[in-house]
Amino acid sequence: MTAMLEISDLHVAVGDDDKPILKGLDLSIPAGEVHAIMGPNGSGKSTLSYALTGREGYAVSGGIKFDGTDISDMAPEDRAAKGLFLSFQYPVEIPGVPTLTFLKEALNAQRRTRGEDEMSAPDFIKYVRERAAKLNVSTDMLKRPVNVGFSGGEKKRIEILQALVLEPRFLILDETDSGLDIDALKVVSEGVNALRSPERGMLVITHYQRLLDHIAPDRVHVMADGRIVASGGPELARELEADGYDKYVRAA
């Protein structure tokens, strides 16, 4: 099966001293599949998500191909317009910018980049409200500044709402379950599952089996010391939950 996202021998260094974080990582994810990465703190999981989406300050070498195109030198906004989406572990607050306005501008910016017509205000209002209802995002939340005064669970719901609005081709979810209670985890997981499609891929970064119970990934990978050191089915996540990462850290 042809990979939608193909990462080969990826090295990433960060900081003035070019400290190596990723050390020859290889990963292949076909369209239609959900892959999960688990690993201890400091193994490079978030660094991988930032390298894939083009965050500044990261020295990257190796191959990152999306739909067969090398995107290593693409600007973050061009990667987003091509269909990459990152849900942050710690969503930022944007004072003064209503959530509804933010979503509309983001959607129309991507449509312009792709040469598509912008969505009119009335059409957008209907479009976003239909998607917000799936995540229990109220009209009041849409009127408030982005993430300002939101709880951890509300911030994560807004992240998934962005994905439902933008309809990316590939989602990277960086510890989306962080800070969620049981009810919020279920709502967010339902939103993620609503985005599953034969034409869409996902990479889910998490520490915990509980999210994977709701999302049911096709493959699970263990990351340690900047590399993928083991891969398997959902049973691998259950093993990690029971036994921890110690043997994989030692092997790395």
For 150-198, write each residue's pLDDT tens digit. 988 888 889 999 999 999 999 999 888 777 788 878 888 888 888 899 9
pLDDT in tens, 44-91: 999 999 999 999 888 999 999 999 999 999 999 999 989 999 998 888
CA distances from 119 to 99, 103, 127, 129 (A): 16, 11, 9, 14
pLDDT at 219: 96
pLDDT at 1: 62
pLDDT over 90 percentage in the chain: 62
pLDDT at 192: 86
How would you write 132-189 as a 3-class SS string? HHHCCCCHHHHHCEECCCCCHHHHHHHHHHHHHHHCCCEEEEECCCCCCCHHHHHHHH
d(CA 104, CA 252): 45
d(CA 185, CA 52): 25
pLDDT band at 10 (very low <50, low <70, confident <90, very high): very high
Q: What is the pTM of this model?
A: 0.90
Domains observed in the chain = 3-251 (3.40.50.300)
**198 contacts 31 by C-beta, under 8 angstroms:** yes
Amino acid at 101: T
pLDDT at 228: 95
Higher pLDDT, 29 or 241: 29
d(CA 180, CA 25): 29
pLDDT at 251: 74
Mean pLDDT confidence for 97-101: 96
pLDDT band at 148 (very low <50, low <70, confident <90, very high): very high
In this predicted structure, which of 13-17, 137-141, 194-198 has the lowest mean pLDDT? 13-17
Q: For residue 61, which of 5, 11, 8, 17 has the smallest C-alpha distance?
A: 11
Torsion of CA 206, 35, 14, 92, to 10 degrees: -50
Torsion of CA 188, 191, 192, 193, to 10 degrees: 120
d(CA 136, CA 181): 15
Per-residue tokens: 107: 């959607």
d(CA 206, CA 188): 14
pLDDT for residue 207 is more than 90: no
Higher pLDDT, 188 or 131: 131
pLDDT at 161: 93
